[in-house]
Amino acid sequence: MENKEIKEQICVLLDQRLAGVPERKACVVTYGCQMNACDSEKLAAVLRELGFVLTEEARAADLVIFNTCCVRDHAEKRVYGNVGALRKIKEASGGRMIIGVCGCMMQQKGVAEHIRTRYPFVDMVFGTHNLHEFASILLAALESERTFVDVREKEDGCVHEMPAERKSLSTAYVTIMQGCNNFCTYCVVPYVRGRERSRETERVLDEIRGVAATGCREIMLLGQNVNSYGKDLGGGVNFAALLRQADRIKGIERIRFMTSHPKDLSDELLETMAAGRHICRQLHLPVQSGSDRILKKMNRGYTRADYLTIIEKARRLMPEAGLSTDIIVGFPGETEDDFAATESLLAEVRYTNAFLFKYSPRRGTPAAAMPDQIPEEVKQERHARVMALQNAVTAEVNARLIGRELPVLAESVSKKNDRMLSGRTDSGILVNFSADGVEPGTIVPVRITGATVSALRGERV
Ligand code: SAH
Ligand code: SF4
């Protein structure tokens, strides 16, 4: 935290509010994408500096922050439910518990006001553009009798430049840009995250060097549309050039990135990936639909044929690449023929993984006002159909790796079995493997012995 005075003032107020609490616990609950996870790590770093011990359990914490997502309705509903569930716990603590709600949902019109009036036990509400002022916001909230609300229209200062309390020892998120200019007609992101702002290359590289110095071996470069990195910086900076520079940083063994927009993906990027020493052969390339008619209504800026040309080039340059995608089913006006085009695209590309979503109307976006909204049952049924199709493909793609020996970066002890480690192949597939004495953060050769739709199984060679 840069401002010592603010820190001291917060500590005095916390001493009063949490008097008698032997160990102050804080919990940051994250919804949504990696960008939010990355922002939560920045909040966690501030809380750590204030003397909090971080916990995963909101109910047991003295301070809870909900970092929200509004990309789909489902995430929003969960937020309201989970914030509401703390009311009784806060009352039981004599009002001592400190509750904050922040993130993308707060940037939407009327949401902050809704929280303030319907959830008055919330102490502070802030948005995505002033995350870097979290300490001052917390101070104001501690001083205020009512919910303190600070949601800005625009960023001033730089959210990127905050230290992070990284959750994973093996993979570090590094934000390279914020915002999005694409305005896909279904998507709320440009409204809540603002226009594209790239971070200066040197700053990004400095952060990566810092990560390498901590012993962390893998970085994930983050942006809503990494392929347009640098357009706003001038001087011929682009994403491929950034990757090449990152690739030269000593100590970093694996570089991943997301998300790539097909419309801005260059041959130079694919060539850079193929030639890179530490750039993983993994490409998450959301297609959204296989139907040209729907792609046009979505304002995606490419056709099915354009997309398949990129896939073909990527496979030619990197035959073993892990390709994944996002799909939306039930976009307004989607006919059975349009849906069949999406199914045939999935069958043709054979992704290692696909994230499949039912279209969720977002207030204020053009698609929410389009005619021919698809009934929930139809969305549900189409979702189940693509899910079955993709699961079968993923299972087959994974099964083909049985018998192979692949380098795996050990990330953590497996969730299901503490004698196993979990990690990923270069192409991004999850592997659970037995490996006595292997420390998370090291890359080891693993022989693949089994495969399911969700992961590979293996043994250290
Ligand atoms: N910037 C990234 C992803 C942003 S949101 C990109 O453009 O690829 C992540 C995914 O959520 C999107 O790829 C899309 O598939 C899905 N999504 C976004 N808005 C949605 C909506 N209104 N309903 C359903 N899914 C949506
Ligand atoms: Fe949303 Fe489209 Fe921007 Fe992705 S590219 S964040 S889907 S508007």
Buried b (16+ CB within 10 A) or exposed e, 146-169: ebbbbbeeebeeebbebebbbbbb
**What's the confidence (pLDDT) of residue 1?**
60
Residue 71 CB-half CA count within 13 A: 16
Read off the pLDDT of residues 73-123 as tens digits, 9 standing for 90 and up. 988 999 999 999 999 999 999 999 999 999 999 999 999 999 999 999 999
Per-residue model confidence (pLDDT) at position 431: 96
pLDDT at 18 over 90: yes
Lowest-confidence segment of 68-82, 91-105, 154-168, 415-429 by average pLDDT:
154-168
Q: Could you tell which of 328, 342, 346, 380 is best to mutate to test the pocket of ligand 1, judged by most ligand atoms within 8 Å of the CB?
A: 328
Higher-pLDDT residue of 413 and 26 is: 26
Taking the model in full, what pTM does it have? 0.93
Q: Band the pLDDT of 160: cuts 50, 70, 90.
A: low
At 2 the pLDDT is 59
What's the CATH number where 369 sits?
3.30.750.200
Ligand number with the minimum distance to the CA of 191: 2
Mean of the per-residue pLDDT values of the chain? 94
pLDDT at 458: 95
Confidence of residue 337 (pLDDT cuts 50, 70, 90): very high
| Ligand 1 centre distance from Cα of residue 46 (Å) | 30
Assign 211 a pLDDT band (cuts: 50, 70, 90).
Answer: very high
The residue type of 188 is V
Ligand 2 atom nearest residue 261's Cα: 5
Q: Is the CB of 225 within 6 Å of ligand 2?
A: yes
Residues 139, 16: one domain?
Answer: yes
Same domain, 174 and 72: no
Q: CA angle, 259 as apex, 239 and 410 as ends, to 5°?
A: 95
The answer to whether 124 and 148 are in contact (CB under 8 A) is yes
Query: Is ligand 1 within 6 A of the CB of residue 71?
Result: yes
Residue 351 pLDDT > 90: yes
For the segment 241-300, what is each residue's pLDDT rounded down to a tens digit?
999 999 999 999 999 999 999 999 999 999 999 999 999 999 999 999 999 999 999 999
Query: What is the model's pLDDT at position 79?
Result: 94
Residue 155 lies in a domain: no
Distance CA(269)–CA(281), nearest Å, equals: 12
Domains contained in the chain, number: 4
Cα distances from 39 to residues 67, 298, 433, in angstroms, run 8, 28, 31
Are 325 and 392 contained in the same domain?
Answer: yes
Most confident of 156-165, 183-192, 438-447: 183-192
Q: Which atom of ligand 1 is nearest to the CA of 187?
A: 19
Is the confidence at residue 193, as pLDDT, over 70?
yes
Q: Give, using CA atoms, the residue closest to atom 5 of ligand 2.
A: 182
Same domain, 137 and 17: yes
Question: Are 17 and 72 part of one and the same domain?
Answer: yes
Give the domain extent around 428.
Answer: 405-460
Q: Is 355 in the pocket of ligand 2 (CB under 6 A)?
A: no
Asked, for residue 446, whether it belongs to a domain, the answer is yes
The CATH number covering residue 272 comes to: 3.30.750.210
154 CA to middle of ligand 2, Å? 18
Whether residues 319 and 417 share a domain: the answer is no
Q: For residue 416, is pLDDT > 80? A: no
Considering the domain architecture, whether residues 414 and 453 belong to the same structural domain is answered as yes
- The strand pair at 443-451 and 456-460 is best described as antiparallel
* Residue 434 pLDDT > 70: yes
pLDDT reading at 157 higher than 70: no
Nearest atom within ligand 2 for CA of residue 224: 6
Do residues 76 and 137 both lie within one domain?
Answer: yes
How far, in Å, is the centroid of ligand 2 from the Cα of 262? 11
Q: What percent of the chain has pLDDT over 90?
A: 87
Least confident window among 76-80, 328-332, 340-344, 374-378: 76-80
